[in-house]
Amino acid sequence: MTDAKGRPIRFFMSAGQVSDYTGAAALLGSLPAAEWLLGDRGYDADWFRDALKDKGVDLHSELSRFFHRELSHL
């Protein structure tokens, strides 16, 4: 995890076959105050988005933009 200027502020190392959700869950409790979090598709899960919302953080990811744009007509 980095700050808005790209400087590392949190780090979690796991084995290559471990899901990104494991790292996200491990870092969730130590998140600094923030308005938004930029993450890739690996972090776009309902439970993670809900946990961030409870902290007042908005998750931005490519997957969420796809769903809102491409599937909004369904």
pLDDT tens-digit readout, 13-71: 878 887 777 878 888 888 888 887 777 776 778 888 888 889 888 877 765 555 555 55
pLDDT confidence of residue 47: 87
Sequence-distant (≥ 6) Cβ neighbours of residue 11 within 8 angstroms: 1
Contact status, residue 58 vs residue 36, Cβ threshold 8 Å? yes
pLDDT tops 70 at residue 73: no
pLDDT confidence of residue 5: 84
pTM metric for this prediction: 0.63
pLDDT confidence of residue 8: 85
Which amino acid belongs to residue 13? M
